[in-house]
Amino acid sequence: MLENMRAFVQAVESESFSEAGRRLRLSANVVSHRIQMLEKHLGCRLFNRTTRRMSLTEQGRVFYENITEALRLIEAAESNVTELGAMPRGGLRVTAPLHLGRRLVAPVAARYQEAHPQIDVRLRLSEHTLDLIAESVDLALRLATFEDSSMIMRKVARIDRVACAAPDYLARCGVPQTPSDLLRHQCLLLRFAGAREFRWTLTDQGKELAVPVSGHLEADDGDVLTVWAMEGRGIVVKPRFEVADALADGRLVPVLASHPPVSVTLAVLYPARQLVPLKVKAFADMLLEEGRRFLARELAKIGEKLTG
């Protein structure tokens, strides 16, 4: 019965019997048969099926909402016992912002999977903040301030941010001297659907100062904003390590050094559960270690340029 429940959950999350079968290394017919057996056991239909699509019935939705966490606890218990004497196995869902995901998390994920060949790592890169529980994500790397007590937070580092622009933009438009000067500048904005008025939070004599900013260019990809800034299209606020190369070679220069943006925490997050799978803890350990090395390498580039 447990395998039938797992087939059902995979079918819901992948929205396809064939994709669920691929993830479980089964045929679509076997997945369909297991779900039929589960429906027979429960005495109700879990899916409405047509030739083109399938959707959950009301009973299926309720069952999915109740069974998901129970299966996770069972998987964690099995994983922890198994991993004590054998290779970790199963799926590992990881999310990270685009820049860090490409340059840090993706290489770590590849090495982790190579060391643990029975683990399927599913990496989702997005600047959007995903709900780890609702999206069935095991672990996230995030740059933010954190207040969610339902999450375990393992700090990688405190991250300084910098407001910067290309020299030719500053030559054309002037160098802002105070935060209020930003009102007269083109600011490159990281924004998502539904976002309201945009503000940058700077520091002013040890206090936080929210400054409303605007501009003609906005995107939901931070790397796009960096490219626009280097092209002289406006001022951008970025984690210092993300623009280390551009600061080191002068393509970007800092502005408002006396009012720097508020720093943020880079941390590994995963849901606080009674049983955290060892595969999650092991991946987090590797990511923390490599994350600190990565940041040290990136920030060293600026120092080498200044002293070279």
DSSP 215-272: -S-EES-HHHHHHHHHTTS-BEEEEGGGGHHHHHHTSSEEE-TTSPBPPEEEEEEEE-
CA–CA distance, 217 with 213 (Å, rounded to integer)? 12
Which residue range forms the structural domain that includes residue 179? 161-262
User: Looking at residue 12, which CATH number applies to its domain?
Assistant: 1.10.10.10
The amino acid sitting at 169 is Y
Pairwise CA distance, residues 155 & 272, whole Å = 15
Query: Are 106 and 180 part of one and the same domain?
Result: no
The last residue of one of the domains, among 59, 86, 113, is 86
List beta partners, residue 139.
94
User: How many structural domains is the chain composed of?
Assistant: 3
Is the pLDDT score of 28 beyond 90?
no
Please check whether residues 257 and 177 belong to one and the same domain. Answer: yes
Average pLDDT over residues 80-84: 57
Give the Cβ contact number of residue 277 at 10 Å: 24
Q: Per mean pLDDT, which range of 23-37, 109-123, 225-239 is the poorest?
A: 23-37
Please state the separation of Cα 79 from the chain's center in Å: 24
> Which of 82-91, 114-123, 223-232, 259-268 ranks highest by mean pLDDT?
223-232
100 and 21 within one domain: no
Amino acid at 177: Q
CATH of the domain at 101: 3.40.190.10
**Pair (230, 285) in one structural domain:** no
Do residue 192 and residue 252 come from a single domain? yes
Mean pLDDT, residues 249-257 = 95
Q: Are residues 144 and 29 in the same domain?
A: no
Best CA proximity match to 240, nearest among 197, 300, 176, 179: 300
Q: For position 52, what pLDDT does the model report?
A: 67
72 and 210 part of one domain: no
For residue 135, is pLDDT > 80? no
Looking at residue 15, its pLDDT comes to 78
Q: Are residues 152 and 282 in the same domain?
A: yes
Task: Please indicate, yes or no, whether residues 69 and 1 belong to a single structural domain of this protein.
Answer: yes
Could you read off the pLDDT of 34-55 as tens digits, one per residue?
Answer: 888 888 888 888 888 766 677 8
Q: What is the DSSP letter of 57?
A: -
Most confident of 51-55, 127-131, 164-168, 291-295: 164-168
pLDDT in tens, 226-247: 999 999 999 999 999 889 889 9
Instruction: Examine the domain organization and report whether 143 and 228 are in the same domain.
Output: no
Tell me the average pLDDT across 291-304: 78
Residues 66 and 109 in one domain: no
What is the pLDDT, as a whole number, of residue 306? Answer: 43
Are residues 216 and 180 both part of a single domain? yes
User: Per mean pLDDT, which of 21-30, 78-87, 162-171, 287-296 is the most reliable?
Assistant: 162-171
Domain final position from 35, 70, 86: 86
When pLDDT is averaged across residues 63-81 and rounded to a whole number, the result is 72
Last residue of a domain, one of 67, 86, 105: 86
